[in-house]
């Protein structure tokens, strides 16, 4: 009889209550106050006592807690912004307008579902898969009439703009998506004239065109609330009333217009080509482009207001061959509100050598404690000197070029001052590598030669006056990477004993001895997820786990009886655990009701409920989406969010969380940007590492950082070829992964769907093995994304694609250990490639290559929560390298 780990009680648990309260507290600190002329906080001390609010907008009742697809968490409830404001004691006086929008929404959703069914029938694919490529778009909003305004009986209006997106489709530069719709603009114009206070709340997962909000008269404040999880409505109310002080800062540049992004013309389908994506902007992504080329943003990277004001004074900067350190005094200079401030340190590297450089790059940051009016705090922020290096393709190395490195301290990319100048007398190679990512199609990359960079009054004088610190290049150590040449074959030594996993865990047998006893087919079974059926939807997201319905999949249990190799359970994220909130079984454990849906469409047909049915419940907490968490600039806060997820993984016996996602926000229209942190690799890497440390603080469970790598496009995502230079890859798109691996050692990495310079990432040896393992020291397992090496026709119909799917045997050759969710053909193809290499051609495998993949999976299983007494996974690595630190002094 199957053993399920879910609760038999539908009642809300103490864990649920505690986690929702924790999420409510942390979500408000992630929100970014973009504009405020004194309208916020509502009901401030000494201000007007506001009891009634006029509430409008598509996100008021239909608040988006997080994006769609595998990143959507099935929580018990979602607190809308309307409900949150009511819970805070406000009376909403625009029920008639909200009811009218409800009617429009219901009609639009009905028409959408009918269209989905028609397309599914035409393409012969499951209906819920159609929603991935054609997400629901909110309808046009009703007009705000004089009657709405007159009957609202208040001088304060709140307008909530909501946007949603998800995997499988990119966003569009269109009204109702990136652009505000004509009806939204008309409503905002009317509200700005009709109400004394008009507050806009952005319930969005990514950047939208906020430029009109600066132009419409009467808009009093703009709060970027993001998508803050299932308790989001309460968190928004807390931020609006000052119960929580918003202290978030942007982790993306918000452009004045979409065309200002250097990737805009060719992104995804904008140029009519979704097969090949050319990263012609090179290293100039986000603020690196805007600042270097002097393009004025609407809101710059790192920007965010507070309900109070701060001053910042750099007291000291020191540097040596190992690290750079800055001591900064931050003071709350306001008189009414407490608040927190973020100190950001940027470095301008010398551009006179052989390498172009961005104007400045973020190298360190830290956040104060909550400071009361008049209070101060010292932050000491440090980062490795080697982190200022640039990648030279000509030298295949990270190089600190000779010259002056200006240290800039401030609270955004456009509000810094030069605090010191580090002068290096000669070039220093910090890491000697080899080039791994050559593209057969050379790119014509953007060059900053002749560009007029952003500057500010007094910058030249600051450079002249900056204290100088002199370093010798000869004192900086060079690390030289050694790359493996081949995987050895392990031979059974003829031991009579058939080793089990218990023997490996006790030290009686080595992992090598255990692996050497396994047959080729047993090894192949280990390297393929537990699904062994055809290509149908029974193994799609949310339906592939045997014991945790809603989990994404399991590793095989075929070696459980003979070898005691237990199977790991893998569940989606990254905004919490994605499990079925309710399911039912027969008395003997046969699953009857899976209860999972995507966009309101069941993911499969459930068997009829029987008289002896047993109900189970798996209510998980939806935490804020990754972009919102990153906006906190608080690694302790993100680690706390990770611990929330880790605790729920323990409760439901999930071993691997398929998160965090950490691709770079190259372009604001990527459909999955909400799952990722930032346009900046340092912020991305630090956030993912903090998330990982939080999750992996619990015994035997781990994270799966994804999508490795350059997954910046959702349209045609399984067949898109990303063309990127080696330097841009290493400095922008791989750097975050490198930081996370080195500083937190996640249990797993998930390869992406796309091709990288002509090779599927799932089949890319230099990406998965040479870079991740040999260069960075990754010690866990690598897995594919779902169906990467399986026939995808059941998802897309009989579509013809420019590039083929990735190869199952080549996954093994590349060091992609685990193929998910798995099918029998994967196993058979791997066995054939080992046993009959003469027939396999380029897909031929050695026994050593297969043993290496299986051994890495077995090593993780042995250290996992599959077995009692497992320690936290990260503890096995001792003290890990660091990339940045912030020490907070006592407040004074």
Phi, psi of 870 (to 5 degrees): -70, 140
DSSP β-ladder status, 755-756 and 759-760: antiparallel
Query: What is the spatial distance between Cα 340 and Cα 413, in angstroms, rounded to a whole number?
Result: 18
Count, residues in the chain: 892
At which residue do the structure tokens 């217009």 appear? 257
Q: Which two tokens stand for residue 341?
A: 């401030």
**Known catalytic membership, residue 680:** no
C-beta separation of 811 from 849 below 8 A: no
H/E segment holding residue 688:
helix 681-695
Radius of gyration of the chain (CA): 27
Token pair, residue 644, equals: 């929330």
State whether residue 509 is helix, strand or coil.
coil
Give the integer Cα–Cα distance in Å for 673 and 127. Answer: 24
Phi first, then psi: give them for residue 695, nearest 5 degrees.
-65, -50
DSSP assignment string, 19-56: HHHHHHHHHHHH-EEEEESS--STT-TTS----EEEEE
Token readout for 275 is 């097969």
- Contact call for residues 93 and 152 (beta carbons, < 8 A): yes
Which residue stretches of 756-823 are H helix?
Answer: 765, 793-796, 808-814
Per-residue b or e along 776-811, where b marks 16 or more CB atoms closer than 10 Å to that residue's CB: bebbbbbbbbbbbbbebebbbeeeeeebebbbbbbb
CA distance 674 to 630: 11
534-549 in b/e burial notation, b at 16+ Cβ within 10 A? ebebebbbbbbbbbbb
Q: Is the N-terminal amide bond of 574 cis, ω within 30° of 0? A: yes
Question: How far is residue 529's CA from residue 545's CA, in Å, rounded to a whole number?
Answer: 10
DSSP letter string, 856-878: HHHHHHHTSTTSTTPPBGGGGG-
Q: How many angstroms separate the CA atoms of 533 and 831, rounded?
A: 18
Q: Is 440 exposed, middle or buried (0-12, 13-18, 19+ CB in 10 A)?
A: exposed
Q: Which of 209, 554, 785, 817 is catalytic?
A: 785
Q: What phi and psi, each to the nearest 5 degrees, are found at residue 849? A: -65, -40
Return phi, psi of residue 340, to 5°: -125, 145
User: Do 684 and 664 touch, CB atoms closer than 8 A?
Assistant: yes
Bond into 709 cis (ω within 30): yes
Instruction: Identify the bridge partners of residue 391 per DSSP, sorted by sequence position.
Output: 398
Inter-CA distances, 83 with 58, 161, 236, 276, Å: 14, 16, 10, 45
CA quadruple 680, 686, 688, 692: dihedral, nearest 10: 180
* Residue in 718, 715, 691 with CA at minimum distance from that of residue 707: 718
Q: Tokens representing 322? A: 């190992």
Active-site residues: which are they? 785
């Amino acid at each position: 009889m199957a053993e399920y780990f879910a609760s038999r009680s539908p009642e809300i648990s103490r864990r649920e209550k505690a986690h929702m309260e924790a999420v409510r507290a942390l979500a408000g600190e992630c929100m970014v106050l973009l504009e405020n002329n004194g309208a916020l906080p509502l009901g401030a001390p000494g201000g007007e006592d506001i009891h009634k609010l006029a509430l409008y907008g598509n996100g008021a009742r239909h608040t988006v807690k997080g994006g769609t697809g595998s990143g959507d968490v099935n929580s018990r409830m979602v607190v809308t912004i309307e409900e949150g404001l009511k819970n805070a004691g406000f009376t909403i006086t625009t029920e008639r307008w909200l009811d009218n929008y409800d009617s429009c929404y219901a009609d639009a959703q009905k028409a959408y579902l009918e269209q989905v069914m028609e397309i599914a029938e035409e393409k012969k694919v499951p209906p819920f898969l159609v929603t991935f490529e054609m997400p629901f778009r909110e309808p046009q909003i009703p007009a705000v009439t004089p009657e709405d305004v007159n009957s609202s009986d208040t001088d304060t209006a709140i307008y909530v703009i909501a946007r949603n997106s998800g995997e499988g489709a990119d966003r569009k530069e269109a009204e109702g998506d990136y652009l505000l719709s004509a009806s939204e603009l008309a409503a905002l114009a009317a509200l700005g004239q009709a109400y004394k206070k008009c507050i806009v709340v952005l319930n969005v997962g990514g950047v939208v065109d906020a430029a009109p909000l600066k132009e419409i008269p009467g808009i009093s404040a703009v709060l970027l609330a993001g998508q803050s999880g299932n308790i989001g409505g309460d968190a928004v109310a807390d931020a609006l009333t000052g119960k929580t002080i918003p202290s978030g800062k942007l982790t993306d540049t918000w452009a004045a217009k979409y065309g200002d992004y250097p990737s805009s013309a060719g992104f995804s389908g904008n140029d009519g080509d979704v097969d090949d994506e050319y990263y012609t902007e090179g290293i100039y992504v986000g603020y690196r482009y805007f600042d270097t080329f002097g393009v004025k943003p609407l809101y710059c990277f790192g920007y965010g207001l507070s309900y109070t004001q701060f001053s910042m004074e750099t007291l000291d900067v020191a540097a040596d061959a190992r690290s750079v350190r800055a001591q900064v005094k931050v003071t709350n200079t306001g008189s009414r509100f407490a608040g927190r401030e973020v100190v950001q340190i940027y470095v301008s590297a010398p551009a006179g050598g052989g390498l172009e450089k961005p104007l400045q790059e973020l190298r360190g940051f830290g956040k104060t404690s909550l400071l009361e009016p008049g209070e101060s705090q010292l932050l000491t922020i440090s980062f490795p000197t080697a982190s200022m290096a640039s990648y030279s393709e000509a030298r295949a190395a990270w190089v600190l070029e000779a010259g002056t490195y200006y240290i800039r301290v401030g609270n955004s990319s456009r509000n810094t001052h030069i605090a010191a100048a580090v002068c290096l007398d000669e070039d220093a190679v910090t890491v000697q590598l080899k080039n791994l990512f050559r593209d057969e199609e050379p790119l014509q990359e953007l060059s900053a030669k002749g560009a007029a960079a952003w500057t500010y009054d007094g910058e030249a004088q600051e450079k002249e006056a900056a204290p100088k610190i002199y370093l010798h290049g000869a004192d900086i150590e060079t690390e030289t990477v050694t790359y493996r040449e081949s995987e050895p074959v392990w031979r059974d030594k003829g031991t009579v004993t058939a080793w089990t996993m218990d023997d490996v865990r006790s030290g009686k047998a080595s992992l090598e001895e255990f692996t050497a006893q396994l047959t080729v087919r047993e090894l192949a079974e280990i390297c393929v997820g537990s699904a062994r059926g055809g290509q149908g939807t029974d193994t799609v997201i949310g339906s592939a786990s045997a014991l945790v319905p809603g989990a994404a999949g399991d590793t095989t249990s075929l070696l459980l009886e003979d070898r005691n190799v237990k199977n790991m359970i893998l569940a989606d994220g990254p905004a919490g655990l994605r499990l079925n909130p309710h399911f039912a079984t027969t008395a003997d454990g046969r699953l009857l009701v899976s209860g999972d849906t995507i966009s309101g469409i069941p993911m499969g047909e459930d068997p009829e409920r029987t008289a002896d049915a047993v109900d189970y419940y798996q209510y998980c907490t939806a935490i804020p989406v990754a972009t919102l968490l990153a906006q906190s600039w608080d690694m302790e806060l993100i680690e706390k969010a990770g611990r929330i997820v880790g605790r729920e993984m323990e409760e439901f016996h999930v071993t691997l969380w398929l998160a965090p996602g950490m691709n770079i926000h190259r372009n604001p229209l990527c459909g999955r940007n909400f799952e990722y942190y930032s346009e900046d690799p340092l912020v991305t890497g630090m956030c993912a590492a903090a998330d990982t440390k939080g999750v992996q603080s619990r015994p035997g469970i781990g994270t799966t950082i994804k999508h490795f790598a350059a997954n910046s496009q959702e349209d045609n995502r399984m067949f898109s070829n990303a063309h990127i230079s080696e330097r841009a890859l290493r400095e922008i798109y791989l750097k975050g992964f490198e930081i996370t691996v080195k500083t937190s050692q996640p249990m797993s990495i998930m390869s992406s769907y796309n091709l990288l310079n002509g090779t599927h990432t799932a089949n890319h040896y230099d990406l998965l093995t040479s870079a991740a393992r040999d260069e960075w020291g990754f010690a866990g397992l690598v897995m594919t994304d779902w169906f990467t090496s399986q026939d995808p026709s059941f998802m897309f119909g009989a579509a013809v694609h420019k590039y083929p799917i990735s190869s199952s045997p080549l996954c093994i050759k590349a060091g992609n250990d685990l193929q998910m969710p798995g099918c029998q053909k994967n196993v058979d193809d791997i066995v054939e490639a080992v046993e009959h290499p003469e027939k396999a051609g380029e897909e031929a495998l050695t026994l050593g290559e297969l043993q290496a993949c299986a051994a890495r999976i077995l090593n993780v299983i042995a250290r996992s929560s599959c077995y009692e007494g497992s320690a936290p996974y990260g503890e096995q690595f001792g003290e890990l390298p660091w990339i940045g630190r912030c020490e907070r002094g006592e407040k004074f």
